[in-house]
């Protein structure tokens, strides 16, 4: 067998009391696409951060093309041909696409010792070539802040490709992408693999597994527990391996107190729309449909009074987390008024409420004083959602509520959303996951080019294929 392009041997990593990696080993061959799976907190991001030089291991070895490698920083890993696209969006909103692609690595020309000029034109030509190679359309001079989520993610992917890569690591690239965006990403990944790049691909979307990867590596509690050919990995077996402790799926729809009563009015498509209690309305659309900004724009347009009765979560997790603040503070952030007594924060009451939510959402670690940056991506997502269950909200605007959470947590969250509806809550939901829409919604509004189409009603229940059909995906 030829030498693997990347091999890691027995990586171990502790963060204080957390044993994040326990003797984790894996290897990748040239041109191979491998899925890395595991529950939230299993150690996937930590393992790949060590491979990309972002985190130093306590012990263990990394070999690139059979040679021992020591990465003190990401620049060392990049020089060795290893790039990682992180789980959270990291683009500079006030720089252009072109500047973001080369942020920190614009090619320079040395004029005199210590004096260099940035070779802007050259990097521009390179960027153009990169776009053409992969058939991607992106306006190089647009500010990144004005791009869609999927476009920002493409910028991050392309940034990794401005260097020569042998190994590309994608940490949950599709967590909030819709069908066509996923297909575009897959096209790029396959083209890279064809050129000999090894791709390590982290995902919680099991349906993608057989479509994109040839092999799957499963992690649990910081170590690799299974490696199988993707096509041999049946859904049942996979779900079981990924934590079969899920609650029963959302059940039949019964009578709901106050159902149909109108609650807060939400501005949608330029119109004040009354939202009804006991109902979940879903929105779905393809690339450029405007669905991804629909709920955030609606939330921004609310006046202060209404805002206090409306909870909101967006697919762009990074913009809503206070990373250096504790889980407790992040949970309480929207409710400070509720927990203040004569101008003081009622810590004891907040702690009691937080403890209940940590249990209900299975947030790990469950210590409310841990800073958010120490949580895995999926657990951060749980905190962001859980905060809206600390006080009773009239309406929840949920964009990609289960982005990045594992199979078990996803079912748990869907059950919590459905329970909220049953208790008379109103929900507007946008999701790129058609199964999620079919599970949770009373009606689904397809959006095409910013215009809402005729809603599809639940009737006796709809399925994901029906939704795809309405969107013109099939
Ligand atoms: N900087 C840190 N400080 C302390 N603990 C950390 C830190 N980073 C990660 N951890 C812990 O290490 C463990 C593994 O986390 P990691 O982010 O690697 O999980 P993951 O498999 O990527 O999960 P997810 O699917 O939720 O993204 C978790 O228990 C997490 O809380
Ligand atoms: Mg992660």
Specify the pLDDT at position 404.
92
> How many Å lie between the centroid of ligand 2 and the Cα of residue 46?
7
Query: Which mutation among 12, 13, 36, 41 tests ligand 1's pocket best, with the greatest number of atoms within 8 A of CB?
Result: 41
Q: Which atom of ligand 1 is nearest to the CA of 87?
A: 27
Distance CA 427, CA 425 (A): 7
DSSP string, 341-373: ETTEE-HHHHHHHHHHHHHHTT-SS--TTSBGG
- Whole-prediction pTM value? 0.92
Specify the pLDDT at position 82.
98
Asked if the peptide bond before residue 365 counts as cis, ω within 30 degrees of 0, the response is: yes
Ligand at shortest distance from the CA of 41: 1
Backbone angles phi, psi at 145, to 5 degrees: -60, -25
Strand 340-341 with 451-452, pairing: unpaired
> How many Å lie between the centroid of ligand 2 and the Cα of residue 134?
27
R_g of the chain, CA atoms, integer Å: 23
Query: Which mutation among 14, 35, 46 tests ligand 1's pocket best, with the greatest number of atoms within 8 A of CB?
Result: 46
Per-residue pLDDT of the chain (474 residues; tens, 9 = 90+): 689 999 999 999 999 999 999 999 999 999 999 999 999 999 999 999 999 999 999 999 999 999 999 999 999 999 999 999 998 888 999 999 999 998 766 555 555 666 555 567 778 888 999 999 999 999 999 999 999 888 999 999 999 999 999 999 999 998 888 888 899 999 999 999 999 999 999 999 888 888 999 999 999 999 999 999 988 887 777 777 776 555 666 765 677 878 878 888 899 988 888 899 999 999 998 877 888 889 999 999 998 888 889 999 987 777 889 999 999 999 999 998 888 888 888 999 999 999 999 999 999 999 999 999 999 999 999 999 999 999 999 999 999 999 999 988 999 999 999 999 999 999 999 999 888 999 999 999 999 888 898 899 988 788 777 777 887 776
Question: What are 345's two structure tokens?
Answer: 């924060």
């Amino acid at each position: 067998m030829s030498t693997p392009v990347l091999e890691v041997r027995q990586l171990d990593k502790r963060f204080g009391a957390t044993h994040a990696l326990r003797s984790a080993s894996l290897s990748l061959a040239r041109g191979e696409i491998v899925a890395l799976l595991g529950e939230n907190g299993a150690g996937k991001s930590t393992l790949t951060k060590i491979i990309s030089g972002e985190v130093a291991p306590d012990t263990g070895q990394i070999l690139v093309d059979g040679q021992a490698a020591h990465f003190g920083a990401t620049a060392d890993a990049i020089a060795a041909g290893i790039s990682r696209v992180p789980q959270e969006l990291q683009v500079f909103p006030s720089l252009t696409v072109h500047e973001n692609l080369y942020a920190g690595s614009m090619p320079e020309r040395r004029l005199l010792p210590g004096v260099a000029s940035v070779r802007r034109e050259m990097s521009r030509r390179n960027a153009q070539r990169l776009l053409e190679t992969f058939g991607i359309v992106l306006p190089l001079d647009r500010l990144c802040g004005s791009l869609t989520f999927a476009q920002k993610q493409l910028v991050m992917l392309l940034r990794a490709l401005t260097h020569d890569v042998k190994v590309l690591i994608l940490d949950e690239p599709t967590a909030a992408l819709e069908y066509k965006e996923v297909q575009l990403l897959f096209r790029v990944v396959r083209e890279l693999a064809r050129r000999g790049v090894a791709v390590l691909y982290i995902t919680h979307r099991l349906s993608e597994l057989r479509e994109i990867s040839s092999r799957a590596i499963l992690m649990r509690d910081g170590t690799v527990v299974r490696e199988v050919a993707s096509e041999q990995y049946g859904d049942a077996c996979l779900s079981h391996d990924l934590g079969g402790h899920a609650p029963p799926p959302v059940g039949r729809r019964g009578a709901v107190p106050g159902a149909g009563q109108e609650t807060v009015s939400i501005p949608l498509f330029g119109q004040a729309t009354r939202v009804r209690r006991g109902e979940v309305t879903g929105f779905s659309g393809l690339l450029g449909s405007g669905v991804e900004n629909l709920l955030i724009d609606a939330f921004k347009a609310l006046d202060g009074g209404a805002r206090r009765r409306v909870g909101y979560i967006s697919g762009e997790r990074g913009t809503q987390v206070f990373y250096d603040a504790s889980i407790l503070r992040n949970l309480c952030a929207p409710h400070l008024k509720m927990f203040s007594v004569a101008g003081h924060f009622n810590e004891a009451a907040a702690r009691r409420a937080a403890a209940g939510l940590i249990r209900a959402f299975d947030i790990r670690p469950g210590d409310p004083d841990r800073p958010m940056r120490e949580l895995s991506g999926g657990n951060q997502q749980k905190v962001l959602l859980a905060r809206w269950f600390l006080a009773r909200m009239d309406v929840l605007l949920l964009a990609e509520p289960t982005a990045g959470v594992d199979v078990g947590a996803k079912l748990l969250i869907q059950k919590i959303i459905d329970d909220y509806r049953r208790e008379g809550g109103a929900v507007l939901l946008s999701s790129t996951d058609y199964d999620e829409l079919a599970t949770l919604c009373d009606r689904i509004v397809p959006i095409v080019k910013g215009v809402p189409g005729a809603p599809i009603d639940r009737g006796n229940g709809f399925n994901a294929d029906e939704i795809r059909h309405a969107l013109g995906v099939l």
